[in-house]
Amino acid sequence: MNLQEDRRSRRGGGIGGQPALGGHDLAHRRQRIRRRPAGSTRTLRPRDRTHDRGLTELDKPCLIPVISSRADQQQLHSIRMLLEHQDRPVVIRTQHPSSIASDLPQEIERIAAALHRGPEAFRIVFDEGYLEAVEQHRVDALAQSINKVLTAGFTSVSLLSGSTPPKRTNYETHIRPRAEVQLWEAVR
């Protein structure tokens, strides 16, 4: 492998040789990527950019799409078009799953049917967001949500949360107990 091929493979492989995860659903509505009708996936048309950057020779996808568990038909169509170009896993991210435990399996089934993929094509991310403290009812609901999807055969199921608030003025993180660690240990 020459130097140019090595650079190309690192660039295409994302961070550390792994594909980059990309989702636009958390972007502010005034940001350019959110104003596009198809979101971030519209900018990923295969012939527009990948060929010019020498990424078409890669044997793995450069980007793994991240979609909300409440994605609408237009978003799902964009992801399906991306999957037709090159097969890749898809991350389904559900925000605050402890508060929406009842309909999560149906939402995931709806996405899987719309994308014509089985459970092995998906990675599930439970995003609890900011945690100030861990409450037992929240742990129980989250554990129930996780148990509902664990048996479905997904490639991976991950829990994401944090105890650092969005506005960190005078917030000392090194002297506080980390609520997300308590949540992770409670759910395990």
The DSSP letter of residue 114 is H
d(C-alpha 32, C-alpha 35), whole Å? 5
Q: What is the pLDDT of residue 22?
A: 57
Characterize 2-27 residue by residue with b for buried, 16 or more Cβ atoms within 10 angstroms of its Cβ, and e for exposed: eeeeeebbeebbbeeeebebbbbeee
Per-residue pLDDT of the chain (188 residues; tens, 9 = 90+): 444 444 444 444 444 455 555 565 555 555 555 555 455 555 545 444 555 555 555 566 667 889 998 899 999 998 998 888 778 889 999 887 766 556 778 888 899 999 999 888 899 998 888 888 888 888 888 888 888 888 788 888 888 888 777 776 776 666 777 788 888 888 87
Q: What is the pLDDT of residue 50?
A: 52
Domain map (residue ranges) of the chain: 24-187
List helix spans (H) across the chain.
3-12, 32-35, 73-85, 104-115, 136-150, 179-187
Considering Cα of 27, then 28, then 29, then 35, what sign does the dihedral take?
negative
Helix/strand/coil percent split, the chain, to 5: 45, 15, 40
d(C-alpha 60, C-alpha 88), whole Å? 8
d(C-alpha 101, C-alpha 148), whole Å? 9
Q: What is the pLDDT of residue 24?
A: 54
CB 60 within 8 A of CB 76: no
- What pLDDT, in 10s, does the model give residues 134-183? 888 888 888 888 888 887 888 888 888 887 777 767 766 667 777 888 88
Q: What is the pLDDT of residue 59?
A: 62
d(C-alpha 186, C-alpha 188), whole Å? 6
d(C-alpha 22, C-alpha 62), whole Å? 10
pTM: 0.67
